[in-house]
Structure 1
Amino acid sequence: MEPRRFSGKSHWYHETQSSRCPADVLPLVPEAAWVDDRLLLDLSLAHSPALAQLEWINEARKLIPLLFPESVAVTRLHTLSSYDRLSTALTVAQVWGVQRLCNHYAALLAPQPGPDSSRESNRRLTQITQFARQLAISPTVIDDAARAQLDEVGLSWFDRVTFTQIIGFIGFQARVVAIFQALQGQPVRWVPGLDMLQDAAPEHFGQSDSHWRADLPPVAISHASESQLKALAACQPHLALRELSHTLVYDAEVLNLLRQLCERLSDGLDDEDRSLVTLLTARINGSAACFNDTLQRWRGEPNLPEAIRNGERALLAWSHNHPRERAIIQAVQQLTRAPDRFSAAQLTPLLDQGYSADAALRLLAWGGLCGWINRLRMGLGSDR
Structure 2
Amino acid sequence: MEQRRAYGKSHWYHETQSRSQHSDVLPLVPEAAHVEDRFLLGLQLPESLQHACKSWLSAGRDLAQELFPEEVAVSRLRTFSAYDRLSSALTVAQVCGVQRLCNHYAARLAPLPGPDSSRESNHRLAQITQYARQLASSPSVITPLARQQLDDVGLTSYDIILITQIVGFVGFQARVVANFQAQLGQPVRWIPGMPTQEDASADIFSAKSSTWQSDLPAVDERYASKTQAMALRRWQSQPVLSQLVPFLVHEERILEGLGLLINALPAASPLHALAALVPARINGSVCCFNHYSSQWQGASGLPDAIRNGDRAIQAWCHQYPREQAVTQAIGLLTRAPDRFSPAQFAALTEQGVREKESTEILTWSALFGWLNRLRIALRSESLPEQRMKERLPQQ
Task: State TM-score, norm by structure 2.
Answer: 0.92
Task: Tell whether 2:286 aligns with 1:288.
Answer: yes
State the partner residue of 1:174.
174
2:25, 2:203 → 1: CA distance? 48
Shift of 1:301: 2.2
Shift of 1:268: 4.8
Please state whether the residue corresponding to 2:222 is helix, strand or coil. helix
Q: Deviations over 1:105-125 (max 9, x none)?
A: 000000000000001100000
2:277, 2:148 → 1: CA distance? 29
Identity of aligned residues (%): 55
- Bigger CA drift: 237-246 or 152-161? 237-246
Task: Tell whether 2:181 aligns with 1:193.
Answer: no
State the partner residue of 1:254.
254
Aligned counterparts, 1:364-375, within 5 A: 364-375=362-373
State the partner residue of 1:341.
339
Amino acid of the structure 1 residue aligned with 2:221? I
Aligned counterparts, 1:230-249, within 5 A: 230-249=230-249
For the 8 Å contact 2:19–2:116, the answer to whether it is kept is no
1:20, 1:113 → 2: CA distance? 9
- Bigger CA drift: 310-319 or 297-306? 297-306
Please state whether the residue corresponding to 1:347 is helix, strand or coil. helix
Task: Tell whether 2:317 aligns with 1:319.
Answer: yes
Please state whether the residue corresponding to 1:275 is helix, strand or coil. helix
Amino acid of the structure 2 residue aligned with 1:321? Q
For the 8 Å contact 1:86–1:105, the answer to whether it is kept is yes
1:219, 1:290 → 2: CA distance? 23
Shift of 1:26: 0.3
Shift of 1:289: 1.1
Aligned counterparts, 1:1-384, within 5 A: 8-21=8-21, 23-265=23-265, 267-270=266-269, 272-382=270-380, 384=382
For the 8 Å contact 1:74–1:81, the answer to whether it is kept is yes
1:166, 1:97 → 2: CA distance? 16
Shift of 1:383: 5.7
- Bigger CA drift: 227-236 or 370-379? 227-236
Q: Deviations over 1:47-97 (max 9, x none)?
A: 552321101110111101111111011100010000000000000000010
1:7, 1:375 → 2: CA distance? 33
Q: 5+ unaligned residues in a row in structure 2: which ranges?
A: 1-5, 383-395
Shift of 1:207: 1.6
Shift of 1:7: 7.9
Count of residues paired in the alignment: 377
Amino acid of the structure 2 residue aligned with 1:269? A
- Bigger CA drift: 250-259 or 87-96? 250-259
Q: 5+ unaligned residues in a row in structure 1: which ranges?
A: 1-5
Q: Measured at CA, do residues 370 and 22 of structure 1 come closer, stay the same or move farther in structure 2, by a change above 3 Å?
A: closer
For the 8 Å contact 2:144–2:378, the answer to whether it is kept is no
Please state whether the residue corresponding to 2:209 is helix, strand or coil. coil
Please state whether the residue corresponding to 2:190 is helix, strand or coil. coil
1:207, 1:194 → 2: CA distance? 33
- Bigger CA drift: 70-79 or 352-361? 352-361
